[in-house]
Amino acid sequence: MAQHYRHSWPARIAIAALFLGLGIASVKLWRQMQTSEQEHIREVVRYEATNLASQLEHGLHDQSQGLLRVANLWNQLGRLPEQQWRLDNQFSLDNFQGYQAIQWLGPDLHMRWILPLAGNEAAINFVLTPDHPNYPLAMLAKSTGKARFSNSFALVQGGRGFVLYTPLQIMDEQQKPVFDGFLQAVFRVENLMDNLLKNIDKNKFSVYLEEFDKPIYSREQGITVASLQQKIPLHLINNQNYSLRLRPSAQWVATLSSNLPTFVLVAGLTISTLFTAALSLALSNRRRARELKAGNKRLNAEVTRREQVEQVLRSSSERLQLVLDLTGSSKDGLFIIDPQNRDILYMNPATYSALGYSEQGFIKLFKDKPEQVIRDYAQWIANVRKAQTSEHSSIFQQYMRRFDGSFQAAEISAQLVNVSGHEYLIGVSRDNSERLKLEQQLQTLSQLDGLTGLFNRRYFDNQLGGEWRRLRREHLPLTLMMIDIDYFKAYNDQLGHLAGDDALRRIAELLKGCLQREGDTACRYGGEEFAIILPNTPAEGGRHLAERIHDKLAELQLEHPGSPLERLTVSIGIACVQANETELPDDLIARSDKALYQAKHQGRNQTCVWRQP
């Protein structure tokens, strides 16, 4: 018995050592799982912080695009009327509450227009002087022609804020661009950040906006975990002096933690205890003890491995499903393609359903004939690559063919990315047909006279200047007709202004009906005076047209009690010139006016042609 007892000591020592080893292994496994969980939490926090910084950057960038469109209209069409300027910018104010004001700073750097005025009265007489902290940045924007986003500074309205300076240009008389001030968006720091962060869960982070590593804005939670804080550099348009520091709340971090490490520790220690107890009771059968030990080890390892795999798969699946749900509900098309072989790696339903295609039909058509989906596909891809390597905009105006063969205007934001040596294109498309249609309507309305439907004086000046330059290059004649209604003041006095307006409309219809060439243009010059531009036409051609106008007007027999002929008549002055370098369009207008004056002086209801004295 004693001998058996002595022989059992090595086994007991081995069992004790095994129990100790299993306990240590369980503790190490527990610590390893805790470390992995902490690293996972850190990765989640880093992802959320990076995503939030990206949302802030894109949110501010999206707002700047609206101002850029207004600036482009200004640069292309000339200085906008104040009412149109206010209408275009009111849309930006209504859709984003982060603005303090949208302003026009004139070319003399004096404040001209402010929207809204309420709350910004202190800026009415503002002048951007060289001692202002933003003066060098504004001059940089002026010299480069590109918008610049300022550092924070003290606003004249009170508090601190930012300014986005967008330079404006107009064409001078020589059609050269000249500086016309700034379209500037003013943001108050607190309002801008509150609006950019309004859709962010407040319980997740304490948020700090820093400028040169000094906080200028904060939104804090109660208890936070300082060891997990993240600092992300921000690129606010083209200003890289800002950073976003986020400190996760203890409450949110707690939701990311699990009891799995503790469970594994308890389970490991329990299994170790039971296992060694079983070995103590089975000293007589060491073979079975060894098998039981090996089986328990394998089971323990498999449980741990499966739980880890399931946790990773569950987390990845939830994130992937969230992304798919969000992109699937978007009205904008989102797609990822391989530009080399035209394979579509991903697209949301809006990409193909808005064009009338089925998913498989769209994929096959794009693979076989991409030009049938995106007009000039190869050139577009080349333009995307060019924009990627330069400072050109990555937003393109394209036309996509619908299933019925018609085309849909689309604004596509595209970016090429390289992953593991392979190139992919990520694009977002948006139907902007209505906006293009509205812009065309506004363009047309700005060129027409509201009463007669003829082109207005502004269009006349632009058209005459354009034809003058064209015909000067081609050495061809240009004829201008100035037409004035005879005794029109007496007509208004005796028949009333409504009758006068009707007479102006009748004359306008008559002039349009007498024009027989596509390039000829009839305009309302002002009041009862009209003008007709006849490119590549000698004076004799103008005289023939004048005779036709007199004849057609006589056929109408419009009653005029104040005229000696008792009907409405017109006087016409004609001037013709060979466009050259020494004369200007104003010289042609002056000569036509002289011929018109001569026609009126000689008794009206006639045509006179200007002759060189």
551 part of a folded domain: yes
The DSSP string of 369-423 is -GGGTBTTHHHHHHHHHHHHTSSS-SEEEEEEE-TTS-EEEEEEEEEEEEETTEE
pLDDT at 498: 94
Q: Count other Cβ atoms within 10 Å, centred on residue 604.
A: 17
Instruction: Reply yes or no on whether the pLDDT at 318 is more than 60.
Output: yes
pTM of the entire structure? 0.40
Residue that terminates a domain, selected from 369, 402, 437: 437
User: 387 and 480 share a domain?
Assistant: no
Higher pLDDT, 214 or 548: 548
pLDDT at 610: 94
What are the structure tokens assigned to 271, written together? 């299994």
Three-state SS at 35: helix
10 part of a folded domain: no
Of the chain, the end-to-end C-alpha distance in Å amounts to 149
Instruction: Reply yes or no on whether the pLDDT at 286 is more than 80.
Output: no
Instruction: Report the alpha-carbon angle 406-399-338, nearest 5.
Output: 115
User: 406 and 462 share a domain?
Assistant: no
- The CA distances from residue 546 to 306, 514, 520, 541, in Å, are 95, 9, 13, 9
pLDDT at 258: 67
User: 464 and 561 share a domain?
Assistant: yes
User: 454 and 562 share a domain?
Assistant: yes
What are the structure tokens assigned to 422, written together? 């392979």
Highest mean pLDDT among 131-135, 259-263, 331-335: 131-135
User: 415 and 483 share a domain?
Assistant: no
pLDDT band at 514 (very low <50, low <70, confident <90, very high): very high
User: 511 and 581 share a domain?
Assistant: yes
366 part of a folded domain: yes
pLDDT band at 7 (very low <50, low <70, confident <90, very high): low
315 part of a folded domain: no
Residue that terminates a domain, selected from 193, 210, 233: 193
What is the pLDDT averaged over residues 586-599? 95
What is the pLDDT averaged over residues 20-47? 79
Per the structure, the complete domain to which residue 106 belongs is given by 78-193
Higher pLDDT, 554 or 201: 554
Judge contact between 128 and 212, C-beta under 8 A: no
pLDDT at 496: 93
Judge contact between 157 and 190, C-beta under 8 A: no
What span, in angstroms and rounded, lies between the C-alpha atoms of 234 and 215?
Answer: 13
Q: Count other Cβ atoms within 10 Å, centred on residue 268.
A: 21
Q: How many domains does the chain have?
A: 3
Buried b (16+ CB within 10 A) or exposed e, 159-173: ebbbbbbbbbbbeee
6 part of a folded domain: no
What span, in angstroms and rounded, lies between the C-alpha atoms of 207 and 220?
Answer: 6
Three-state SS at 337: strand
User: 398 and 506 share a domain?
Assistant: no
Q: Which residue has the tokens 């449980």?
A: 303
pLDDT band at 540 (very low <50, low <70, confident <90, very high): very high
User: 423 and 488 share a domain?
Assistant: no
What is the pLDDT averaged over residues 454-462? 93
User: 454 and 521 share a domain?
Assistant: yes
Task: Classify residue 2 as exposed, middle or buried by CB count within 10 Å of its CB (0-12, 13-18, 19+).
Answer: exposed
pLDDT at 8: 61
Query: What is the 3-class SS of 171-226, one letter each residue?
Result: ECCCCCEEEEEEEEEEEEHHHHHHHHCCCCCCCCEEEEEEECCEEEEEECCCCECH
User: 430 and 527 share a domain?
Assistant: no
pLDDT band at 322 (very low <50, low <70, confident <90, very high): low
Instruction: Reply yes or no on whether the pLDDT at 504 is more than 70.
Output: yes
User: 467 and 388 share a domain?
Assistant: no
Judge contact between 214 and 202, C-beta under 8 A: no
409 part of a folded domain: yes
Instruction: Reply yes or no on whether the pLDDT at 96 is more than 60.
Output: yes
Three-state SS at 305: helix
The DSSP string of 110-167 is BEEEEES-TT-GGGTT-B--TTSTTHHHHHHHHHHTS-EEPPPEE-TTSSEEEEEEEE
Instruction: Reply yes or no on whether the pLDDT at 454 is more than 90.
Output: yes
CA atoms within 13 A on the CB side of 380: 22
pLDDT at 420: 82
What is the pLDDT averaged over residues 256-276? 73
Say whether 307 is catalytic: no
Instruction: Reply yes or no on whether the pLDDT at 580 is more than 90.
Output: no
Maximum distance among all alpha carbons in the chain? 153
- Residue of 371, 528, 566, 583 marked catalytic: 528
302 part of a folded domain: no
The CATH number of the domain where 509 resides is what? 3.30.70.270
Instruction: Reply yes or no on whether the pLDDT at 461 is more than 80.
Output: yes
Cβ contacts of residue 391 below 8 Å, gap of 6+?
Answer: none
Instruction: Reply yes or no on whether the pLDDT at 315 is more than 80.
Output: no
Residue that terminates a domain, selected from 166, 193, 220: 193
User: 536 and 592 share a domain?
Assistant: yes
The CATH number of the domain where 410 resides is what? 3.30.450.20
pLDDT at 550: 97
* Averaged pLDDT of the chain: 84
Q: Which residue has the tokens 């990315």?
A: 417
- Backbone angles phi and psi of 427, in degrees to 5: -135, 150
- pLDDT digit string, tens, across residues 140-169: 989 998 999 988 888 888 888 889 999 999
23 part of a folded domain: no
